[in-house]
Amino acid sequence: MKLIVIFLFVLPTVLLSQKINNASSYRDMGSETYFRFHYDNDFFAATDKNYTQGYSFEFANPLFKKNPVNHIFIKLKGQSNTYGLAIEHIGFTPSNFVSIDIQTGDRPFAAAIYLKSFATSTDTLKKSRLSQSLSLGFIGPGAFGKEMQTEIHRLTGNKIPGGWDNQIQNDLVLNVKFDYEKQLFRYNELLSLQSVAAFQLGTLFSNAMVGFNTTFGLIDLPFSGSGYSSAFKLFAYAQPVVSIIGYDATLQGGIFTNDNPYEISSKDIERVTSQIDYGLILKYKRLYLEYTRTSITREFKSGNAAKWGGFRVGYVFL
């Protein structure tokens, strides 16, 4: 039944919703060789529930062009391409994360970890960008969400979570994702506007979304093909999107495991959500710094809207 639900909600006309997203053009590093670290936590929004924490380590290098996974991606000739790998980890908790009891009506505890292979192609003539990725890993206790949150709370003197024994059980993560952007307008190096569309299908998330993003300030030029620049850049961005949700294993459990202590029923999933990401990016010489905030409407009928913040630190290798 879960596989049928995934299939019915595959809609190729709209963009994906995701907690960690490094594919947006305003996050372009301007180089084929770089490292970037990303950390999310709802602490930045003064909460401790829903999407509670996430991090990623992202590596890009032309050597990854030889990665056999790239053979499944759409081949685009005559364009600027970036290839890389990322390790991503995400964790979720209900509002009352201290209690050992199942929090009926709230989201379940869940954590996932996976390795992502990605490729990004930029068409400088059409001012468009296609990012593709394949993720492989698992959701469940093996993703050590319990151990990580417990240790962080212990070190920071916060309340110790007590409900992780009720988390979503071990299952496969296998996801493919496509992000597309088209620049609609740019005014010098001060303002830009892009339409965005994306789609992802798999055992962790199956969804789609449409929206736009804008940057303003001393902006970057990710569609120009000019490559790495050491010039000082400081700009703000905003990206509002609307999502259609097909499947969410962090709420509904994995598609192969049926022994979850607690999960959200398919009929209680909100099939349409809206989200806005906004933040500030500073780039100077090889350094990349970003602070970001996100707000999202409720993801299941008895849930609430959620918000979180995060930061990214990156470095370009020439």
129 neighbors 120 (Cβ within 8 angstroms): yes
Residue 241: CB atoms within 10 A of its CB come to 23
How would DSSP label each residue in 154-220? HHHTPPPP--GGGSPPPEEEEEEEEEEEEEEEEETTTEEEEEEEEEEEESSEEEEEEEEEEEEEE--
Confidence at 78, pLDDT banded by 50, 70, 90: low
Q: How far apart are the first and last CA of the chain?
A: 50
> Is residue 39 within a helix (H) or strand (E), and if so which, with residue range?
strand 34-41
Q: What's the pLDDT tens digit per position in 225-267?
A: 777 788 999 999 999 999 999 999 999 999 999 999 999 999 9
Q: What is the pLDDT of residue 49?
A: 62
> Is residue 146 within a helix (H) or strand (E), and if so which, with residue range?
helix 145-156
Confidence at 8, pLDDT banded by 50, 70, 90: very low
What token pair was written down for 74? 């759409």
Confidence at 19, pLDDT banded by 50, 70, 90: low
Its pTM stands at 0.89
Residues 217, 233: Cα–Cα separation, whole Å: 8
* Residue 253 DSSP code: -
212: nearest Cα among 253, 172, 182, 170: 182
Inform me whether the pLDDT recorded for 143 exceeds 70.
yes
Q: Where are the beta strands (DSSP E) in 15-76?
A: 34-41, 50-60
- Domains of the chain by range and CATH? 2-316 (2.40.128.140)
Gyration radius from the chain CA atoms: 19
Q: What is the pLDDT of residue 7?
A: 35
Mean pLDDT of the region 270-295: 97
